[in-house]
Amino acid sequence: MTDVVISIVFDGLAYAMLLFVISVGLSVTMGLMGFINLAHGAFAMAGGYAVTSLTGGLGLPYPLALLAAAVIVGVASVPVERLLYARVYAARELDQVMLTIGLVFMAIAGFTFFYGPSPQTLQLPSYLTGQIDLGFRSFPTFRAVVIGIGLVLIAVLWFGFERTGFGARIRAAVDNRTMAQVVGIDVDRLFMITFAVGSGLAALGGGVAVEMLGVSPVFAAQYLVYFLIVVAVGGLGSIKGAFFAALVLGIVDNAGKYLWPDGGAFFIYALTLALLLVRPQGLAGRS
Amino acid sequence: MSGDALAAAKARAAGFGRWHPAEALVWIAAIAAYFVFPGYMALGAQALILVLFALSLDLILGYAGIVSLGHAAYFGIGAYAAGMLSAHLGWHEPISGLLVAGAVAAAYGFLTGVVLLRYHGLTLLMLTLVAAILLYEAANAWSDVTGGFDGLLGITPAPLFGTFEYDLWGRTHYWYVLAVLFICFLGARRLVYSPFGRALVGLRENTRRMHALGAPVYWRQVQIYTIACAMAGIAGGLFAQTNAFVTLDAMSFLRSGTVIIVLILGGVGRLYGAFIGGVVYAVLEDELAKASPEFWEFGIGLVLVCLVLFARDGIAGVAVRLWQRWRR
Amino acid sequence: MSLLATHALYKSFGQLVVADGIDFELGPGDRHALIGPNGAGKTTFVNLLTGALAPSDGRVMLDGRDITRLGEAQRVKRGLVRTFQINQLFAGLTVLENVALAVAERRGAASVFWTPLRRRADLIDEAADLLVQLDLTAVADTAVAAVPYGLQRMLELALALALKPRVLLLDEPTAGVPSAESHRMLEAVEALGQDLAVLIIEHDMDVVFRFASAVTVLVGGKVLVQGAPDEIARNADVRAVYLAESRDD
């Protein structure tokens, strides 16, 4: 029995790390600009495809491919933001939703056209396959590594957010954009950098998702709800909030699907509904 | 002379909501379609159902400014209500079936509206989305009642008024749907041009001011939400009756997204936008999606992006602007 | 016998106290001005009075009844009406349509969805009469977005008057308005019933002297002093507060 619980928690933890890495960029950029970006999942998806192409076609080692994909997608996201997104920052909510949904459609169609509709396959390096013995139990190596890397990333992001000047400027701009501009913070440039980093992280997550969740052209739409839940439940613009929301979402969803294979997804939606009704600003949001 | 301005303003108010000749064109075209495209009546009926669904969304999105990502929940619930009435309860009379569909959807709309409309912005967006997904999952879980993924079968609507049989070409269906659409449209039109309709526009334009005018903003929103959900439910009921088949995708996120796209395409906040968007989308989808699903999906995405960047008020908006420019 | 009163009204945002135990009274026929340096909490006070903001402590009374828990719309229905410092109008509608909406709300017609608006000539006529009264007829058929600022400000007042207030809270109504229009505004307010209580937030001392019979000075969320305009003008503390402010400029 405890073995089952440990498995659920472990898998849930790995899943949570993945969701966090993908969603954290979305949370910060939404908190920063108030911009509803439903195409964020497309950047993750692009990362997944980039990793498969780099490891398969170019024979790049997996870790290097992950980093390369993150950089490529992060850089590529900048013109998208400058040329398209920037035009609707002041527009109504509906327009932002529509623009980004349109981009998702185009991404899904594009990737289907070039790669076909099946999920991508990836050959993991041998040191990431199999099991790793952590003393009291053996766990799948890949997931253990994902958890490890996730924790490191969280520490780095938290440090960057809470302890550096850059992070302080982001937090200030999330708090009160007008005031931040008044004291001389270049919010536009801040946003560009944050957006690029967030998209890069999403791409990194996408590379991991190929192995853990499976990435097909519909990935951007399929998991969009989950990313939005992490952001909304966590509270816009909060790394801490995104982390805890991802944790809850990852473990509860995993448990639900394990215990009720047919209707397990129900739990996470019910939980999200309840949480948002009681605390609409999210776990770490301000009212 | 200022007297002229006041007279002009009063004249505008006196003419507010009068039937415009161009409106008649739309309905004449709908009737003419029966004679010009007799082979496409099945598609025509589905297109008109989409129009009715989009019209119901326009009431909350275009007039009250409530952005919902889960409007298909009410379409779906209406579809299942009408479907189950026939399939499980053996009540086949179609018009009363529609009334039941509308009533069930209205009740569900009222209950959800009362809870959800206390929230705003991203929270409301998420709540509408999640609530619709929950309904979907619930319908899936009760698959012995709803038929789950396989769908609800055994829907056999009785002939209209006991005399008009249905045929394989969907001709009776077309008139049935057109008549229902017309009646619902009359209701929506009357509402939009009433003092209540104007107050809704005020609500959308400046909610803060509406509070300061003493308007019961929340209850107004619940009211229009309930009415819109009833209309969506009727559209769902028509869907069930004309297809004799309902699956879970009647309440899917894809359907919620599609109806928003349809409305944006046609033009939000203009009653006929739903008409234009619905017909254009249904026809294009029929032609293009079968030819190449990827190109269709890409095309829709591209159209959306272009609409938001260049033509936020949709086809109807562009048409109105062109017509005003041509008049000068 | 007061129409509007507050007892120990207190509001804080964390450490920041914006209203520090304000006692205030307004009776029928009062012409009361609220002045104070920027950031003193004048608009916050009006927000607390109208219910747009909920107090942390203290009470708001209307007609001797506690309305602290009532929402903004309910207070409007009881005759407590305000104008906004920044115009809150319906930009896409014409001037006449804006006022007609306010009239419809007051008369309870706005909940009617089965009668066409064009058949409600009574609403239109009442709105038109108000436009004549405030000399806004020249822009009656113009969309608000295209109307000059001074007239927009007048429209802001028209919306409040359309609600037939018993207590009227004006938040810097003449700010940025050419003097001809501001004179008209004040004349329109003065022409209202003798029983109407008016509180006006103002920076323009000429307006205060011309219009108000009593003045309250608010500084840092607290009432510094209350009295007749000429007393306030002579008051040493008030001069210190204002002189200190101008010395910092």
ipTM for this model: 0.91
Chains adjacent to C (≥3 CB pairs closer than 8 angstroms): B
Q: Is the pTM of this model over 0.80?
A: yes
- Tell how many helices (H) and how many strands (E) occur in chain B: 16, 0
* pLDDT tens figures, C79-107: 999 999 999 999 989 999 999 999 999 99
pLDDT tens by residue, chain B, 328 residues: 557 888 888 888 888 888 888 888 899 999 999 898 888 888 999 999 999 999 999 999 988 889 999 999 999 999 999 999 988 888 888 899 999 999 999 999 999 999 999 998 889 999 999 999 999 989 988 887 777 777 887 777 777 777 777 776 678 899 999 999 999 999 999 999 999 999 999 998 999 999 999 999 999 999 999 999 999 999 999 999 999 889 999 999 889 999 999 999 999 988 899 999 999 999 999 888 888 888 888 999 999 999 999 988 899 889 888 888 888 7
Residues of A within 8 A of B257 (CB-CB) are 101
Q: Token pair 């109806």 is at which residue?
A: B259
- Nearest-CA distance C24 → chain B (Å): 22
Interface contact flag, C118 B13, Cβ < 8 Å: yes
Structure tokens at B196: 């209540």
Give the Å distances, CA to CA, from B15 to A167, A255, B19, B207.
Answer: 58, 62, 9, 26
pLDDT of residue C249: 46
- Nearest-CA distance A276 → chain B (Å): 7
- Nearest-CA distance A94 → chain B (Å): 7
Q: Measured between CB atoms, which of C76, C100, C120 is closest to B212?
A: C76
Please spell the DSSP secondary structure of C181-239, one letter per residue: HHHHHHHHHHTS-TT-EEEEE-S-HHHHHHH-SEEEEEETTEEEEEE-HHHHHH-HHHH
Rounded to whole angstroms, how far apart are CA atoms B223 and B231?
13
Q: Map residue C170 onto helix, strand or coil.
A: strand
- Best mutation target, A273, A279, A287, to test chain B (most B CBs within 10 A): A273
Residues of C within 8 A of B190 (CB-CB) are 113-114, 116
Q: Which of B305, B301, B290, B285 is nearest to A110 (CA)?
A: B301
pLDDT of residue A49: 93
Rg of chain A in Å (alpha carbons) = 19
| A116: number of Cβ within 10 Å | 11
- Best mutation target, A29, A82, A94, to test chain B (most B CBs within 10 A): A94
Q: Which of C70, B212, B123 is nearest to A287 (CA)?
A: B123
- Nearest-CA distance A161 → chain B (Å): 24
Residue with more model confidence, C205 or B256: B256
Residues of A within 8 A of B122 (CB-CB) are 30, 36, 232, 236
Alpha helices (runs of H) in chain C, residue ranges in sequence order: 42-50, 72-77, 95-106, 121-133, 149-162, 179-190, 205-211, 229-234, 236-248
Please spell the DSSP secondary structure of chain A, one letter per residue: -HHHHHHHHHHHHHHHHHHHHHHHHHHHHHHHH----TTHHHHHHHHHHHHHHHHHTS---HHHHHHHHHHHHHHHHHHHHHHTGGGGTTS-HHHHHHHHHHHHHHHHHHHHHHH-SSPP-----GGGSSEEE-SS-EEEHHHHHHHHHHHHHHHHHHHHHHHSHHHHHHHHHHH-HHHHHHTT--HHHHHHHHHHHHHHHHHHHHHHHHHHT---TTHHHHTHHHHHHHHHHH-TT-HHHHHHHHHHHHHHHHHHHHH-TTTTHHHHHHHHHHHHHH-TT-SS---
B142 Cβ under 8 Å from any chain A Cβ: no
C145 Cβ under 8 Å from any chain B Cβ: no
A283 pLDDT higher than 90: no
Task: Tally C-beta pairs within 8 A across B and C.
Answer: 146
C232 pLDDT band, cuts 50/70/90, is confident
**Could you tell me if B181 and B267 are in contact, meaning their C-beta atoms sit under 8 angstroms apart?**
no
Q: Measured between CB atoms, which of A87, A113, A277 is closest to B309?
A: A87
**Could you tell me if C18 and C10 are in contact, meaning their C-beta atoms sit under 8 angstroms apart?**
no
Interface contact flag, A269 B134, Cβ < 8 Å: yes
C238 Cβ under 8 Å from any chain B Cβ: no
Length of chain A counted residue by residue: 287
Structure tokens at A32: 């920063």
Do chains B and A meet with 3 or more Cβ pairs nearer than 8 Å?
yes
Interface contact flag, B309 A106, Cβ < 8 Å: no
pLDDT of residue B14: 86
**Could you tell me if A89 and A35 are in contact, meaning their C-beta atoms sit under 8 angstroms apart?**
yes
Rounded to whole angstroms, how far apart are CA atoms C61 and B323?
55
**Could you tell me if B226 and C151 are in contact, meaning their C-beta atoms sit under 8 angstroms apart?**
no
C 6-65 residues inside an 8 A Cβ radius of B: 50, 52
Residues of A within 8 A of B144 (CB-CB) are none
Instruction: Measure the CA angle with vertex B244, ends B241 and B249; round to 5°.
Output: 95
CA B164 and chain centroid, separation? 26
Rounded to whole angstroms, how far apart are CA atoms A154 and A205?
13
Interface contact flag, C110 B199, Cβ < 8 Å: yes
Q: Indicate the DSSP class of residue C171.
A: E
Interface contact flag, B304 A102, Cβ < 8 Å: yes
Burial class (CB in 10 A: 0-12, 13-18, 19+), A185: middle
Interface of B with C (CB under 8 A): 2-3, 5-6, 8-10, 12-18, 190-191, 193-199, 201-202, 205-206, 208-209, 211-217, 220
Structure tokens at A145: 């590594």
Maximum Cα interatomic distance, chain A, rounded to a whole number of Å: 58
Do chains A and C meet with 3 or more Cβ pairs nearer than 8 Å?
no
* pLDDT tens figures, B7-34: 888 888 888 888 888 888 899 999 999 8
* pLDDT tens figures, C19-73: 888 999 999 989 999 998 887 889 999 999 999 999 999 999 999 899 999 999 9
